[in-house]
Chain A
């Protein structure tokens, strides 16, 4: 067969030009068709994720509120109290912020750097607010130092200096349970260490759920694939039915089943199998059970569609050539289902790593995952920067796992059908 360039050579220059125009038009048309989708992805994924990443690194709030104080603080060696000019600048800037009703925002920022400062900043701002402009120059610094003992602590001013940096990786340090100390440099956070534990726990729970989904889903998909089409379709509806049911309804159904005096415990104690009801709801057990149930269709569907496409004559050929059933399954059939298994595993794992609603409802204390703490920082503590850093790390973790997976299994090996 002649190649395309050979064909083009067979055309006249005018014909070739016309062909190029037609091709370009087709390409533009194709682009126009996917443009809405591209825009949608850009607006709903790339922009929010990008702004989240950006928020965790770029934090100009403090630098915008007390710029002159920070300039002065940069001259300071970090030992003892900062010099008179720095304190005077700070007094003036706090005074101005109080006038504009913005001192609360500064209080919030300081509180994050040094716990307990919120009320100190607010009460100090109120005290300064009672002075007039000339008195501010003469008595301002004294008023500041008198209003709370914290203002005399060098570590507070060091924390303020750090909080004033516009570009910061501090939120990432916190998210990794690390902190920077004046004397020792980088070290493990002294106060609280939770985030690494939570990441480990999230990965563990996600792995357990994925494994359970694979163990339950594989035989079922195999059975479905071996049935005649009309019966398989009927049974497939049973797989899809819970998939179409509201997530909240399914989770609430698990609450009714698992609670202390719920269906399961009543059956167990009523039949005399147990004296005391089992503690099942609000544990990681409940999280695993409910999430396995919710995510099972994501495993069954790709497995089923891949298994449907496998010609049963391969297995029959292996058996007729003398292979025993188990080795024939393990060496002939199983490798052919791997693309479906890969797709299902990856889907279930990635969805469960970021899962939020089910652990929040049935997880109690030991069933919490990293997404719940991200929600805590978004909704309760209002520390969106830390939430962004935690979310970015989670994203990085998933990308890393995907890369590992690609190296080990090969991403090209995934098939949804």
Chain B
């Protein structure tokens, strides 16, 4: 009977170890974390893949669902798994001030393809935080489905809260952010005063009262990816989501969705480096590359606006009218400082209101 050689397991182990260390030596790697979905696919196509090709660095491109928890856990335990993270600016302010992120010197950013220095090429909001470099402008909007909407069509935030004019369910993401801003704007608060009003106890009451007026017609979801689904299968007639998610469903899957831009709340996403990352130098190089004119010019594929002015001429022009930057006068910028202050206390109040 043929028996396997006695030393086979050791041999295999040795081979495996050699292969493992060999791969590590041959190639540098970097862990980059973002949001997945259509946005992640666009980043992979226009940022990650060309970067790997040009530099030979292997990028492990992972998904997360936002928030600061994982990064805080990694920094506190000293076991840094992620190097570069795509942040929503709402979370960025807190992560930065809690010391969870590295500083990013501005001089690493190359000038635009047209030669404009980075400081002038970027929109000012993209460079507002010393911990990150903004890469896209995106927006929270609501949309309806031509097939399910019926006679009257919504044109404004007031219509979103008017169940007599447009009967049916409305779907919102289950959190106070954006929803309270919408409630106040629909209740007649001027867009520029929203955060001032929301900082007062009366203003908060007013916002919750407005939400309460349509409480029985509200459906809540937890992740942006659920939103187009809800709109498609009729779970709700008016659905809130990131503009890119709707745009992708309209363009790639020919869904009869119509986006309403009135009162949209726009925000930036930004690249940041987790504090204590052993690959900080490489991470800085990656961010400098990822926020260059050309990679950013790919973001309009999913209707997110690039933060560099020099990217626009390089981008797919058919998307221009669908970018948040084409509708800035109809919306407000998300108050990252406000939500750093009131995120937790309004989060508790919001949960209490949900349970009422």
Residues of A within 8 A of B (CB): 101-105, 107-108, 111-112, 115-119, 122, 191-194, 197-198, 201, 259-262, 281-282, 360-361, 364-366, 368, 373, 376, 378-384
Residues in A with CB closer than 8 Å to B96 are 104
Once the chains are docked, how many angstroms separate the CA of A364 from the CA of B348? 17
Residues in B with CB closer than 8 Å to A366 are 354-355
Name the residue on B nearest A361 (C-beta): B222
Q: Which of A116, A117, A198, A260 contacts B233 (CB 8 A)?
A: A260
Per-residue CB proximity of B92-111 to A under 8 Å, as 1/0?
Answer: 00101111000000000000
* B24 sits at the interface (CB 8 A): no
Name the residue on B nearest A197 (C-beta): B355
Once the chains are docked, how many angstroms separate the CA of A267 from the CA of B351? 34
Chosen A-B contacts, 7 in total, with CB atoms closer than 8 Å, are A104-B97, A108-B94, A116-B345, A192-B349, A193-B352, A261-B235, A382-B72
Residues in A with CB closer than 8 Å to B69 are 378-380, 382
Residues in A with CB closer than 8 Å to B352 are 192-194
* B248 sits at the interface (CB 8 A): no
Per-residue CB proximity of B195-226 to A under 8 Å, as 1/0?
Answer: 00001000000000000000000111110000
Query: In the complex, what's the smallest C-beta–C-beta distance from B331 to chain A, in angstroms?
Result: 22
Which of B316-350 touch A at CB < 8 Å? 337-338, 340-345, 347-349
Query: In the complex, what's the smallest C-beta–C-beta distance from A369 to chain B, in angstroms?
Result: 11
Query: In the complex, what's the smallest C-beta–C-beta distance from A358 to chain B, in angstroms?
Result: 12
Per-residue CB proximity of B273-298 to A under 8 Å, as 1/0?
Answer: 00000000000000000000000000
Say whether B99 contacts A112, CB under 8 Å: no
Say whether A379 contacts B67, CB under 8 Å: yes
Say whether A101 contacts B344, CB under 8 Å: no
Query: In the complex, what's the smallest C-beta–C-beta distance from A233 to chain B, in angstroms?
Result: 36
Once the chains are docked, how many angstroms separate the CA of A217 from the CA of B340? 49
Say whether A191 contacts B345, CB under 8 Å: yes
Once the chains are docked, how many angstroms separate the CA of A118 from the CA of B347? 15
Say whether A103 contacts B355, CB under 8 Å: no
Known: A380-B67, A382-B69. A282 touches B220 (CB 8 A): yes
Scoring B98, B338, B342 by chain A CB atoms within 10 A of each residue's CB, the highest score goes to B98
Once the chains are docked, how many angstroms separate the CA of A105 from the CA of B101? 12
* B170 sits at the interface (CB 8 A): no
Name the residue on B nearest A115 (C-beta): B345
Instruction: List the 5 shortest-distance A-B pairs measured between CB atoms, nearest first.
Output: A104-B97, A115-B345, A381-B344, A379-B69, A261-B234
Once the chains are docked, how many angstroms separate the CA of A382 from the CA of B70? 10
Say whether A281 contacts B235, CB under 8 Å: yes
Once the chains are docked, how many angstroms separate the CA of A191 from the CA of B351? 12
Known: A194-B352, A194-B355. A360 touches B222 (CB 8 A): yes
Residues in B with CB closer than 8 Å to A191 are 345, 348-349
Query: In the complex, what's the smallest C-beta–C-beta distance from A362 to chain B, in angstroms?
Result: 11
Say whether B235 contacts A382, CB under 8 Å: no
Name the residue on B nearest A265 (C-beta): B234
Say whether B97 contacts A364, CB under 8 Å: no
Say whether A368 contacts B345, CB under 8 Å: no
Once the chains are docked, how many angstroms separate the CA of A192 from the CA of B352? 7
Say whether B68 contacts A382, CB under 8 Å: yes
Say whether B199 contacts A116, CB under 8 Å: yes
Q: Which of B67, B340, B348, B354 contacts A118 (CB 8 A)?
A: B340
Say whether A107 contacts B97, CB under 8 Å: yes
Residues in B with CB closer than 8 Å to A193 are 352
Say whether B169 contacts A260, CB under 8 Å: yes
Residues in B with CB closer than 8 Å to A102 are 99
Residues in B with CB closer than 8 Å to A260 are 169, 233-235
Name the residue on A nearest B175 (C-beta): A380
Residues in A with CB closer than 8 Å to B98 are 104-105, 108, 382
Name the residue on A nearest B130 (C-beta): A101
Residues in B with CB closer than 8 Å to A261 are 233-235
Residues in B with CB closer than 8 Å to A105 are 97-99
Residues in A with CB closer than 8 Å to B343 are 380-381
Residues in A with CB closer than 8 Å to B221 are 282
Once the chains are docked, how many angstroms separate the CA of A112 from the CA of B343? 10
* B174 sits at the interface (CB 8 A): yes
Known: A102-B99, A260-B233. A365 touches B341 (CB 8 A): no
Say whether A119 contacts B340, CB under 8 Å: yes
Once the chains are docked, how many angstroms separate the CA of A122 from the CA of B99? 13
Query: In the complex, what's the smallest C-beta–C-beta distance from A271 to chain B, in angstroms?
Result: 18
Name the residue on B nearest A108 (C-beta): B98
Residues in B with CB closer than 8 Å to A376 are 347, 351
Name the residue on B nearest A194 (C-beta): B352
Once the chains are docked, how many angstroms separate the CA of A383 from the CA of B344? 8
Name the residue on A nearest B235 (C-beta): A260
Per-residue CB proximity of B165-186 to A under 8 Å, as 1/0?
Answer: 0000100001100000000000
Q: Which of B99, B341, B351 contacts A194 (CB 8 A)?
A: B351
Which of B231-266 touch A at CB < 8 Å? 233-235
Say whether B341 contacts A117, CB under 8 Å: yes
Query: In the complex, what's the smallest C-beta–C-beta distance from A129 to chain B, in angstroms?
Result: 13
Q: Which of B219, B233, B234, B341 contacts A282 (CB 8 A)?
A: B219
Query: In the complex, what's the smallest C-beta–C-beta distance from B117 to chain A, in angstroms?
Result: 26
Additional A-B contacts beyond A104-B96, A193-B352 (17; CB < 8 A) = A101-B99, A102-B99, A103-B97, A111-B344, A112-B344, A115-B342, A115-B345, A118-B340, A118-B341, A122-B97, A259-B233, A281-B235, A373-B351, A376-B351, A378-B69, A381-B343, A384-B72
Query: In the complex, what's the smallest C-beta–C-beta distance from A41 to chain B, in angstroms?
Result: 21
Residues in A with CB closer than 8 Å to B222 are 360-361
Known: A104-B96, A282-B219. A119 touches B341 (CB 8 A): yes
Q: Which of A101, A364, A379 contacts B219 (CB 8 A)?
A: A364
Query: In the complex, what's the smallest C-beta–C-beta distance from A101 to chain B, in angstroms?
Result: 6
Query: In the complex, what's the smallest C-beta–C-beta distance from B229 to chain A, in angstroms?
Result: 9
Once the chains are docked, how many angstroms separate the CA of A219 from the CA of B94? 54
Once the chains are docked, how many angstroms separate the CA of A111 from the CA of B352? 19
Query: In the complex, what's the smallest C-beta–C-beta distance from A202 to chain B, in angstroms?
Result: 12
Residues in A with CB closer than 8 Å to B355 are 194, 197-198, 201, 365-366, 368
Once the chains are docked, how many angstroms separate the CA of A103 from the CA of B235? 46
Say whether A119 contacts B235, CB under 8 Å: no
Per-residue CB proximity of B63-78 to A under 8 Å, as 1/0?
Answer: 0000111001000000
